[in-house]
Structure formats: structure tokens, C-alpha cells
Amino acid sequence: MDVILETNATDPALILRDCHRLDARAFECELYVRSSGFVAERRFWFEDPEFDEFRRQLGEMDRALQGAAELRTRYEENCFRLEVHARGTVTVSGTLREYGAMEQLLHFAFTTDQTVLAPFVRDLTQLSLLKPSNER
């Protein structure tokens, strides 16, 4: 399953590609980010407690047009965050890091508007209902 933050543009973009449940608590996907010409694709893992809180915070942001929500890979720096500002502007930011002999690091940020929130929450809720791959 793909979950797309609908920015109505090809740049910027944030897409959770090929999302699936690894087990009863954990998810895996390919996080794709495009921001001002920079592009990154990384495996991204997250777990239910953090994912549930992220979805709850996004829903509240959509209703109140204020607040922030972050989804983070446990024990790593990889994350992305959405924050609503005055007049419905939404800042999307994050950090992607690859450790290894040649360390790679991308900090990204872009803006969009509050109309992206409701469809994003809807798709994330559908993702939360998936069964683990071994239970299909």
C-alpha cells in the first residue's frame, strides 16, 4: 500500500511506498522524499504506539488547524514531521540518515497547505488496518 501526502506537485513530495505490517506492532515502507530538487528513498520502520499517536495528532491538526505530529524510526534519527502554522500553512520537515563507511544525511523541509491533512489521515488509517504479511 502507498500513502501519499498530496502536495499537488511533483516537487515537493512525501510518499510512504509499499507499506506493510511486519507483525502485530511494526510497519515497514520505503520513504520517498523530494524537496527542492533533493531526492531520498530509504527503508523506514515504525511501530503502533508511535504510529497511533502520529495519526491522532494529525487528526487533531486537521480539526484545529494548529499543532504538530512526528513519525520517527525508533532508536534512529530517521523521521518526518508536519506542523500547521497560521493561515493553514503546513511545514513538512525531516531527517534521513544512512550510517556506513560513507555516511549520508539529508535534512529536508517544504511547505504545503492544510488540505493535505484529511486525505493523509484517511490513508494512514487504512494502513493501520492492514494485517501482517504472514496472515494474508
Over range 85-109, report the average pLDDT. Answer: 94
10 Å CB burial of residue 110 (0-12, 13-18, 19+) is: buried
pLDDT value of residue 38: 95
Q: What's 114's domain CATH number?
A: 2.30.31
pLDDT value of residue 55: 97
pLDDT value of residue 136: 52
Over range 31-48, report the average pLDDT. Answer: 95
Quote the pTM value: 0.92
Domain holding 45, by residue range, is 3-135
- Domains in the chain, number: 1
